[in-house]
Amino acid sequence: MKLLIDAGNTRIKWALADGQTWLRSGTLPVEQARELPQQLAGLQDIRQAWVSNVAGEEVAQHIRDACVSAQPCFIAAREAQCGVRNGYSSPAQLGSDRWAALIAAWHLVHGTCLVVNSGTATTVDALSAKGEFIGGLILPGVELMQRSLRGTAAQLQAAQAGEYAPFPLNTADALYSGALQASCGAIERQYALLGESGAPVVLSGGAALVLRDSLNVPLRIVDNLVLQGLWLIAQETDA
């Protein structure tokens, strides 16, 4: 049994895999990370634990406390792994979540694509036809953009959640539509720069469904892209 853990900025996701089969999965907010040992306490026969952690050392310690039957392996980006080559100027500085997502996307597409993970932050990463990571963007996620403006601009305190409108006529809709358009604009601009008509955008993360209906690019929506990348890394290590 392999335990896979994706500790992001907002949520911790986990899955229990046996060979090709995913048996159980769960999630909890990062601020409740101390509850992870209790959530995983009933899992049996865990031989390996593979972790992507971008949530800091305190969360890492809670993960260690939860993995009592297997020493967790915290992954880091490499120069090359699972068929993907890392073009980052300092390969190890690429976030482990982005690296795992790139690996998962490559094994799904085996060709040129954009890999978009949309959560607290939105990352927009490009893969070449040869599996080379050629660079990417990091920008605030849809919700974070709105929170940032509400927290710093006194006259942008929307009293309610907004909805998308092409030309918004109230503050709540203006905040939401602006954040959505900015995110979609970044994705579509990178897609144009990629220059591969028909290449898919592999879209994952908590805001994937929010972005889906506003993007004018070929989409492939995939749940738990980081966990799938962790599984592939674990499989290659066992080979």
143 vs 148, 206, 233, CA distance in Å?
Answer: 9, 10, 31
Report d(CA 49, CA 233) in Å as an integer: 11
Q: Are 46 and 22 in contact (CB under 8 A)?
A: no
Q: Are 163 and 78 in contact (CB under 8 A)?
A: no
Q: State in words which class domain 2-74 has.
A: alpha beta
Residue-level pLDDT at 162: 86
pLDDT, mean of residues 170-189:
94
Report d(CA 98, CA 196) in Å as an integer: 21
Q: Are 199 and 217 in contact (CB under 8 A)?
A: no
Question: Which residue's entry shows tokens 């040992």?
Answer: 37
The chain-wide mean pLDDT, for the chain, equals: 92
Q: Are 51 and 72 in contact (CB under 8 A)?
A: yes
Question: Which of 37-41, 123-127, 177-181 has the weakest average pLDDT?
Answer: 37-41
CATH topology of domain 111-224: Nucleotidyltransferase; domain 5 (3.30.420)
pLDDT in tens, 106-163: 999 999 999 999 999 999 999 999 999 999 999 999 999 988 887 666 566 655 778 9
Residues involved in catalysis: 97
Which SS3 state, helix, strand or coil, does residue 218 take? coil
Beta bridge pairs of residue 192: none
Question: Which of 12-21, 145-154, 191-200 has the weakest average pLDDT?
Answer: 145-154
Per-residue confidence band for 239, with pLDDT thresholds at 50, 70 and 90: low
Q: Tell me if 2-74 shares its fold with 111-224.
A: yes
Q: Can you give the length of the chain in residues?
A: 239
Report d(CA 225, CA 204) in Å as an integer: 6
Handedness of CA 31, 32, 34, 37 (dihedral sign): negative
Which of 158, 162, 156, 207 has the alpha carbon at shortest distance from 186? 207
Question: Which residue's entry shows tokens 């994706």?
Answer: 6
Question: Which residue's entry shows tokens 């597409």?
Answer: 109
User: Strand 80-81 to strand 84-86: parallel, antiparallel, or no bridges (unpaired)?
Assistant: antiparallel
Domain boundaries, the chain: 2-74, 111-224
